[in-house]
Amino acid sequence: MRCFTSLLVTLYLSASTLYAAEPPKLSPAEQEVLNVSLARRDAHNKRDMLALAGYIADDCLFTSDDGGLATKAQYLQHIGKLPVEYDHSTNPRDFTVRLHGNTAVINFRTTAHEQFSDADIISEQRRTETWSKQNGSWLLIAIQVGNLPVNFRKPVAVDARVYQDYVGEYEWRPGLVDTILVKDGKLRSQMDGDTDENLPAGGEAFFIKSDLGSVTFSRDAHSRVTGYTYHRIDGQEIHAKKIK
């Protein structure tokens, strides 16, 4: 992993694997609110606007994956204009439900699909929904969506013999070192107990599947690798010097 947020994702992925093997058992009350959440999702996917509106409180807060806020009216107006295939989610999973009196919080993972011309844009997401029980019925009062860092870039073909040039240790800062090695013909990165494969993007650039950034190795006048630059998706850069 190339950043601390990615390290948190690693912890999450380990937990999700556990949940996939042993789904948590829910109490009847927890299952009740989860069923309502799933019914709201189905109404969204089917564009059953009347049913969809009935699951949502009038003052519900919608927070998108880019941090934008929307009201119930804005959400319904946006969804109502789109055909089903242009905005829907599939495979809801890894549910965690917490009840606090008449308030419930549901956290789960899902796969979102957005159609643009002939492209189906896929986003792996983790969503948090907050529900309130009012007059015996559960109403959605807030939902927050966050995209998980899944890189859909395709690797290019390279001569794996060049990987030996990159082998070594690269210091991000004191105590945080990225060890680059070749194993089974693949260029791998080991940092803080985590291991990832560096996939070639062309030239001296590489990427990993669980991170949206990229790495570009640098060389000196004698063509020796001296370090690399990690390019964050937001345009900021981290420069790692080769120390061994």
Residue 70's region, left for phi above 0, alpha for psi from -120 to 50, else beta, is beta
Query: What is the residue-averaged pLDDT of the chain?
Result: 89
Alpha helices in the chain, H assignment, sequence order? 4-21, 28-46, 49-54, 72-80
Express each pLDDT in 85-141 by its tens digit.
889 999 999 999 999 999 999 999 999 998 888 888 899 999 999 999 999 999 999
pLDDT at residue 184 tops 60: yes
Q: How many CB atoms lie within 10 A of CB 47?
A: 16
Domains annotated on the chain, with CATH: 4-147 (3.10.450.50), 160-242 (2.40.128.50)
Count CB atoms within 10 A of the CB of residue 77: 11
Distance CA 149, CA 152 (A): 10
**What pLDDT, on a 0 to 100 scale, did the predictor assign at position 20?**
41
pLDDT class of 2 with cuts at 50, 70, 90:
low
The count of C-alpha atoms lying within 13 angstroms of the C-alpha of 135, restricted to the half-sphere facing its C-beta, is: 3
pTM confidence score: 0.73
Q: Is residue 199 within 8 Å of 209, Cβ to Cβ?
A: yes
Q: How far apart are CA 214 and CA 58, in angstroms?
A: 42
Per-residue pLDDT for 76 more than 50? yes
**Per-residue pLDDT reduced to its tens digit, 97-113:** 999 999 999 999 999 99
Residues of the chain above pLDDT 90, percent: 77
Would the CA dihedral through 22, 13, 113, 36 be positive or negative? positive
- CA atoms lying within 13 Å on the CB side of residue 89: 24
Query: What percent of the chain stands above pLDDT 70?
Result: 90
